[in-house]
Amino acid sequence: MAVYNEFLYDTIGNEHPRKNLYLLEVARLQEQIRNSAKSDKTEFVRELRELKRNRKSHPYNVSLSAFKKDEKTFRKNLSESKKAYSREIKGRFSPKITRLKILGFLSGQMEPFYKPFTGLSYDALMHYEEALIIQRQIDGVTEFISEHETAMADAKAARKTIGGEDNKKARAGLFDFKKIQRQKYKADIASLRKKIKEGIISKKAFEAEKAQLKKKQAYAILVKSYELPGKGNRELIKSLHYQVTKGFRREITVLNANIADLRRKTPVEITRVVPVNAFLSFFLPGFGQVLNGQYIKAIFFFLISIFTYVIAIPYSLGYANFQGDGIAGLISLAADGSKLDKSLIFMIEGTLSVYLIIFAVVLVYISFRDVFKVDRDRIRGVRPRNWFETKTSLFEEGFPYMVSFPAMFVIVFIVLVPITTTMLLSFTGMDPQNQSKFPWVGLENYKLIALGQGIAGKAFWYILGWSVVWTLVATTLAIALGFFLAVFTNNERIKGKLFFRTIYLLPWAVPSFITIMFFSIMFSPNGAMTEIITKLLNADAAIVVKYNPMLSRITLIFIQGWLGSSYIFLLSTGVLQSIPEDLYEAAQIDGATAWQKLKRITLPMVLFQTAPLLIGQYTFNFNNFSVIYLFNGGGPFNPTKYGNLAGSTDLLISYIFKLTTDNQYQSIGAAITMVISLGLMVFAFFGFRNSKAFKKSDTE
């Protein structure tokens, strides 16, 4: 049974009594049934049934039905009157004035019609008060636009009468004025130069005064130029045109805002108590907005229907796929396809299909939620927003979503689709023997990694161990080196700070691959560093760093420490220069040593500001491909320990590169990639969460 409330609520939440006396009686009887004793309920139920049975003959419903019939006739006649009035004033006024006069004519017709019915219906009350608002404002707006349009027409007519003689006199006057201004400028400059010689003002003050005199001269000439008949007329026309166009929009916006304020405070009264519009339009976004009377909004939501039924669903079923079969192709991976069909393409297109369906479901739900909210609010009494209110809300409350949605859409198809494809690929058997077509293998690849079997073998765990050591030692070395270089150059007793800072930034300024290749050549069998090390150690044979796993690793750590120190140096220098000197002075007064000031003031403040970036350095170095690959290609190689696919200095990232690009083991490479990604995400999460900078931002 439909349950009604005695009161209605507007957008603001104000309570209003029902004007529908029939529904008011129903609501009161329902309230009495709920609150009365069992012995009295029978009588109230009988009264309610009798009331509903005779609802058509209820006095209020009879009056309301007559009003709606009269309103329908009035609206039809008003439409004809509008056409007749439009024809009558056509060509007599500008388009803006014509629009305002038609609006005033309509409000003048509506006000007397709806006035007698304001006590009968909230809709009649709203139309009546809306007509009053328009009548109060329309005359002022019309007068404002009319005056400015007349002035603009006069200015345009005056432009034709501007003659040559007047222009010549004005130009001559402007020329003489410029001459006087230049002479005055020269005299002022001479006066300022004299003050410099006398020591009254400095050179810096002279330059500032000179700039001000130039601006003053240019402004005076500009003001004088408006006395030219032609230029003054053009500026006047431009100003009047601005007033007409912008002023018209401003006044119409004010009028619409006042009407919107009236709508927010005037409830709507309907007989339904269930938001059926939302359920009727669930599978057709846009239709519910039409049912709610929001026609312009419906146009935008119909685009969701087009996207869902023309793009998302057909594509997921295999239509318009390059090779794939939509979501079905993601399951089959072209197992029953032709020789030209490729499992990877089926996987990518299937992944795209899944995301398109997710987008469609989310958008359909957004449409359903919008219709449901509007319909539910109408039942409570809240009047649906008109297009002006919707547009205003969209640009104010919905602006963050509007600017974020395109970026989110791009992120899905540029970031999430490749990541999802990589994740799915790790559960397949794509290897050198199965490049065109490959099957699903489940967790087999992860099992091989965990047990150190198959193509991954024990090499994975050796490489993982070296990757962790490399990340911790090389990054920590770079951080320590960069920090202490920054502290060194920030010391007030150091001379030539600009020189030292330039030198320390060179590793960052010079492209890293050039530096790495330089070191690679220096440490080659015939390189300069190889000869220097051999002579220093007085060895019988050449000590080639590249041929020794331990020496190669140590060298790579030092190279990365040098390359990475510049970035840390730059970060630390910026933070050090922002530390107040008062802290060090207070510590000095308390008797703190240089080490205590470094430990208690400098280091905590630098770490607080740079901790998130330092954590990023660790995750970056874990996947630092270039320094490993360019220096020695991951060597030296030890097949008995690492197999034929990796070397002693390979990191997991370079190992994946060799697995996938050089040897076509894409599936096992994808599985290792997922393991790395998960590990780095966990490390970054706990690192960021435990950093003081993030803890402070959470508590604020």
Percent of the chain with pLDDT strictly greater than 90: 47
> Over the stretch 342-371, which tens digit does the pLDDT of each residue have?
999 999 999 999 999 999 999 999 999 999
User: Would residue 439 count as lying in a domain?
Assistant: no
User: Would residue 492 count as lying in a domain?
Assistant: yes
Helix (H) or strand (E) holding 409: helix 399-411
For the chain, the average pLDDT equals 88
User: Would residue 324 count as lying in a domain?
Assistant: yes
Mean pLDDT of 388-412: 82
> Over the stretch 302-347, which tens digit does the pLDDT of each residue have?
999 999 999 999 999 999 898 889 999 999 999 888 888 899 999 9
Residue with tokens 């927003």: 385
Instruction: Mark 636-675 as b/e (b = at least 16 C-beta within 10 Å).
Output: bbeeeebbebbbbbbbbbbbbbbbbeebebbbbbbbbbbb
Please say whether the beta carbons of 127 and 107 come within 8 A: no
| Residue 15: pLDDT band with limits 50, 70, 90 | very high
Q: 458 and 539 share a domain?
A: yes
For 287, other C-beta atoms within 10 Å of its C-beta total 19
**pLDDT in the model for residue 229:** 73
Measured CA to CA, the distance from residue 578 to residue 606 in angstroms comes to 10
Q: 236 and 105 share a domain?
A: no
Q: How far is CA 451 from the centre of its chain?
A: 44
User: Would residue 432 count as lying in a domain?
Assistant: no
Measured CA to CA, the distance from residue 292 to residue 289 in angstroms comes to 5
Measured CA to CA, the distance from residue 390 to residue 19 in angstroms comes to 27
Q: Which CATH number belongs to the domain containing residue 663 in this structure?
A: 1.10.3720.10
| Residue 694: pLDDT band with limits 50, 70, 90 | low
Helix, coil or strand: residue 340: coil
What domain range includes position 676?
A: 444-699
Q: 324 and 454 share a domain?
A: no
For 337, other C-beta atoms within 10 Å of its C-beta total 19
User: Would residue 664 count as lying in a domain?
Assistant: yes
Could you tell me which of 246, 236, 229, 245 has the C-alpha nearest to residue 151? 236
Asked if the peptide bond before residue 636 counts as cis, ω within 30 degrees of 0, the response is: yes
pTM: 0.79
Please say whether the beta carbons of 318 and 329 come within 8 A: yes
CA triple 5-9-14, angle to 5 deg: 130
Q: 109 and 168 share a domain?
A: no
Q: 451 and 476 share a domain?
A: yes
Q: What is the DSSP letter of 524?
A: S
> Over the stretch 629-642, which tens digit does the pLDDT of each residue have?
999 999 898 888 88
Instruction: Name the more confident of 116 and 596.
Output: 116
Q: 677 and 538 share a domain?
A: yes
**pLDDT in the model for residue 362:** 93
Please say whether the beta carbons of 300 and 405 come within 8 A: no
Give the domain-ending residue among 80, 113, 142.
Answer: 142
Give the domain-ending residue among 79, 107, 142.
Answer: 142
User: Would residue 151 count as lying in a domain?
Assistant: no
**pLDDT in the model for residue 696:** 53
74: tokens are 């009035």
Q: What is the DSSP letter of 309?
A: I
User: Would residue 157 count as lying in a domain?
Assistant: no
**pLDDT in the model for residue 512:** 87
Q: 490 and 620 share a domain?
A: yes
Based on the structure, what is the number of domains in the chain?
A: 4
User: Would residue 487 count as lying in a domain?
Assistant: yes
> Over the stretch 23-66, which tens digit does the pLDDT of each residue have?
999 999 988 888 888 777 888 888 889 999 999 999 999 999 99
Give the domain-ending residue among 265, 285, 320.
Answer: 265
Q: 282 and 387 share a domain?
A: yes
Q: 381 and 487 share a domain?
A: no
Q: Is the pLDDT of residue 699 over 50?
A: no
Q: 527 and 582 share a domain?
A: yes
332: tokens are 């089959």
> Over the stretch 648-688, which tens digit does the pLDDT of each residue have?
999 999 999 999 988 899 999 999 999 999 998 888 888 77
Q: 213 and 328 share a domain?
A: no
Q: 339 and 365 share a domain?
A: yes
